[in-house]
Amino acid sequence: MGKCVAYVGTYTHGNVVGIHVYDVDPGKGVLSERSVAEINNPSYLCTSKDKKYLYSIADEGVAAFSIDANGDLTKINQEGIGGMRGCFVDVDSKRRYLFVGGFHDGRVTMMRLNEDGSIRGIADGIFHQGVAFTQSERRIDHPMVSCVKLTPDERYLCAVDHGLNQVKVYELDYEAGKMHLKNIIRCMLSAGPRSIRFAKDGRVCYIVDEMSNYIEVYSYHYDEKNDEPVFNRLQRIATLDRNYNMVCESSCICLSNDDQYVYVSIDGFNGFSVFRRDTATGMLAFEQIVKCSGDFPKSISTLPGDEYVAVLNHDTNEIRTFQMIHDKERPYALMKCAPVKVVTPNCIRILELP
């Protein structure tokens, strides 16, 4: 295992100035802060496949950083996205384009990248339109793109629209820099989908529904006749006990590095749920639910080796790590390390450097 670093995006106010960089000991679950890269409100981050660059949301649009051999960040440039402030970013494996989701204006933006990792400008942008029927007073029925995620083969971009209650699937034309709508995944009524993740085998994806507190499991394949993406719902499983009366919202979903477990953070309840994953079928089985000893958990991520899970408690300004014991008879989690203090953390990305 190489050197491990963690990048934590925050909302900047008070004494917080940007992206916090941590050395990570995955065998002990310890994060040690080493440096901070200055930027306004880097609420969401992604890293390139070659581990040379990091891209971040910023108040002014999106920003690019280079990653040195120690994992420290140096800002390259930033560009506007042609709409309101973004909330999610993803980058293709060849670093051709950066994709941005806009929660406040329902826009999906495709940004060109240069060979040196810098952001060149806008290639394409699409504003979602329409309203959604809802049975919940808490639901918002206008476009709000909360997540953009490439399919494993990178032929398509999945844009999760929390407001419209659906996931729009765009075919990508990398030569022309264009997005074309090909399919729509229609989530359950008043579900409020928040984010989508794919298993490494590329055959199954998971959509976490924030408002209804469910995970929707879909198979993913191509229609043999038309060679178009097809999503079939396999399962719908609750993220917490249906008898729990407090207002809760499932926030973030992640898969373990070995694809055997799925984790979902739940604010209101202030904890996270753990599911065992059948690697053959992709179906989930509930294992346990863990209190995260803090308020408003946001991003959640496994550390390399999958022994520890890191949870960002946004409202209590801390990162906590838990050792996961996946005993079939009595699974449990241990909080063995002291919390790491950081103001309003929102997103964590863990990178294993060469």
pLDDT in tens, 242-284: 666 567 789 899 999 999 999 999 998 999 999 999 999 999 9
- Answer whether residue 175 is part of any domain: no
Q: What is the pLDDT of residue 138?
A: 56
Q: What is the pLDDT of residue 239?
A: 94
| Residues 6 or more apart in contact with residue 151 via CB below 8 angstroms | 157, 158, 198, 202, 220, 229
HSE-CB of 107 using CA atoms within 13 angstroms = 17
Distance of CA 66 to the CA centre of its chain: 21
- Answer whether residue 296 is part of any domain: yes
- Answer whether residue 299 is part of any domain: yes
Domain that holds residue 7: 1-38+250-354
Q: Which of 10-19, 27-36, 51-60, 219-228 has the lowest mean pLDDT?
A: 10-19
At 1, is the pLDDT very low, low, confident or very high (cuts 50, 70, 90)?
Answer: low
Residue 304 is encoded by which pair of tokens?
Answer: 């390399």
| Residues 6 or more apart in contact with residue 278 via CB below 8 angstroms | 284, 285
Contact 161, 128 (CB under 8 A): yes
Which tens digits make up the pLDDT trace of 49-105? 999 999 999 999 999 999 999 999 999 999 999 999 999 999 999 999 999 999 999
Domain count, the chain: 1
Q: What is the pLDDT of residue 190?
A: 83
Sign of torsion, CA 249 264 154 72? positive
Partner residues linked to 318 by β-bridges: 313, 341
- Answer whether residue 25 is part of any domain: yes
Q: What is the pLDDT of residue 225?
A: 83
Instruction: Give the domain CATH number at 317.
Output: 2.130.10.10
- Answer whether residue 8 is part of any domain: yes
Q: Say how far apart CA 332 and CA 277 lie, in whole Å.
A: 17
CA-nearest of 21, 46, 39 to 113 is 46
Which tens digits make up the pLDDT trace of 171-196? 999 999 999 999 999 998 889 999 99
Task: Give the DSSP letter of residue 339.
Answer: P
Distances (CA, A) of 315 to 38, 236, 245, 282, 294: 21, 29, 21, 33, 8
Distances (CA, A) of 143 to 79, 113, 127, 136, 225: 23, 27, 8, 16, 32
- Answer whether residue 168 is part of any domain: no
**Mean pLDDT value across residues 156-165:** 96
Q: What is the pLDDT of residue 135?
A: 58
- Answer whether residue 199 is part of any domain: no
- Answer whether residue 120 is part of any domain: no
At 39, is the pLDDT very low, low, confident or very high (cuts 50, 70, 90)?
Answer: very high
